[in-house]
Amino acid sequence: MDSQDQTDNTATPIFDVVDVTKEFDQGKVQALRGVTLRIEDGEFVSMIGTSGSGKSTLLHLLGSLDHPSSGTLRFKGQDIGNLPDPAEFRAREIGYIFQSFHLLPTFTVEENVQIPMFGLPGNTAKSRKERAVELLEAVGLSHRLGHLPTKLSGGERQRAAIARSLANNPTVLLADEPTGNLDSDTAVQIMQLLGKLHAEHRTTMVLVTHDIEVAENASRIVQMKDGRIISDPKAPAASHQSHPS
């Protein structure tokens, strides 16, 4: 995969993260200590690292769920580090998948899939419903449309959450330990589903995990430690991130 480096570098990447830091509690916690990362359109990247290494924090920044403390963060060349109202960006470009599914408990599976569609204009009640049903069929949940999430198994819940993440046909899927709450067989099925979606739609995918087997589904594995990237097969040669401290 290294052979493509040159061509990739000329195209505008999906994400261009340069020297980003993130502090919490007035600098007492340094979750990211200067992260530089390029993710190309259609890539499937896994981020691994020990607990507390900053994986989720980085993913939040990519999804514009938080602002970086310093550094620049570009999406398709456009600065997204400090969008005044990032909601539109999230709704249009980002699909989020969480470890503990985060389905809304008072809505049926099909209604949950509709929720992100309210973030974008131009959807009718009918079109929302049709799209939700279609997406749930695609993840193999067409028999569960009217059920509440609590009635579903963990694997089924994650399938529903995956269908929801696709609701607005996003450019990027960000998945934070999507298999973390699942047994290994179910985890394999979920990874197959994500792999299939990636293959079919060429959706850019960033997957956070600390399970190396899960990470190996991706074509590129980025390793993090203490708020830094310590290994990345595609790291830009000029500013290779070793840590001189």
Residue ranges that bind ligand ATP, judged by CB under 6 A: 24-25, 29, 31, 49, 51-57, 210
Per-position DSSP letters for 67-109, written without gaps between them: --SEEEEEETTEE-TT-SSTHHHHHHHEEEE-TT----TTS-H
CB of 240 to other proteins, least distance (A): 29
CB of 14 to other proteins, least distance (A): 17
Candidates 19, 24, 54, 33; CA nearest to 222 is: 54
**How far apart are alpha carbons 72 and 186 in whole angstroms?**
37
CB of 160 to ligand ATP, least distance (A): 22
**How far apart are alpha carbons 113 and 183 in whole angstroms?**
24
Pairing of β 15-24 and β 29-39: antiparallel
Nearer to other proteins, 91 or 136 (CB): 91
What would the two tokens of residue 59 be?
């993913």
Nearer to Mg ion, 174 or 194 (CB): 174
Nearer to other proteins, 152 or 221 (CB): 152
Work out what residue 54 binds among other proteins, Mg ion, ligand ATP, none; the CB cut-off runs from 5 to 8 Å by kind: ligand ATP
**How far apart are alpha carbons 219 and 4 in whole angstroms?**
12
Nearer to ligand ATP, 116 or 227 (CB): 227
Work out what residue 87 binds among ligand ATP, Mg ion, other proteins, none; the CB cut-off runs from 5 to 8 Å by kind: other proteins
